[in-house]
Amino acid sequence: MRNALIRYRVMAYLVGTLLIVLTLVGLPLKYGYDNGTVVLWTAIPHGWLYMVLLITAFDLGRRAKWSIWRLLAIALAGTIPFLSFVAERSATKDVLAKLAAAENGEAPDIVVNAGERRSGGPDDTKPVAPARSELL
């Protein structure tokens, strides 16, 4: 889950930064001074990277077992300037808390690393069977 968090954080910062440049620099230049260069070079990458952000947010949300409402809120945060940074901070706090709980054995059935499940029960010392993807 740590790698999924890193991927999501990188995408949230990229998308958020491009959106801020687009709205605070590009749009005033385009509509105030009839210069659409900044809009051209930020709007298209922002759109494509936003799609990647949605994929990384879904991947992280699936691993962290977020509700559909939380996933939707995080997805919409990439469309409002500065809000993607707030959503990223909230998601990071939540995931780090879940990881800490899983490492302490307090969280049942949280995937920490690929093929490794923490059950938190009395049989926590049993070896974990490899995931199906590792067998193929």
pLDDT exceeds 90 at position 4: no
CA angle, 118 as apex, 89 and 4 as ends, to 5°?
35
Q: Are 52 and 8 in contact (CB under 8 A)?
A: no
Residues 52-68 pLDDT 10s: 999 999 998 888 888 89
| Strand, coil or helix: 118 | strand
Task: Categorize the per-residue pLDDT at 127 as very low, low, confident or very high, splitting at 50, 70 and 90.
Answer: low
Q: What is the dihedral sign for C-alpha 26, 30, 35, 41?
A: positive
Which comes out higher in pLDDT, residue 102 or 106? 102
Q: Name the CA dihedral angle for 121, 122, 126, 128, rounded to a multiple of 10 degrees.
A: 0
Residues 6+ apart with CB under 8 A from 56: 4, 7, 8, 11
| Domain ranges for the chain | 2-105
- Across the chain, mean pLDDT equals 80
Confidence at residue 107, expressed as pLDDT on a 0 to 100 scale: 58
Global confidence as pTM: 0.69
Greatest CA separation for the chain? 68
Range 97-113 burial, b when 16+ CB lie within 10 A, else e: ebbeebeeeebeebbbe
Residue 110: phi and psi, rounded to 5, are -105, 130
Confidence at residue 55, expressed as pLDDT on a 0 to 100 scale: 92
Confidence at residue 121, expressed as pLDDT on a 0 to 100 scale: 47
Task: Categorize the per-residue pLDDT at 129 as very low, low, confident or very high, splitting at 50, 70 and 90.
Answer: low
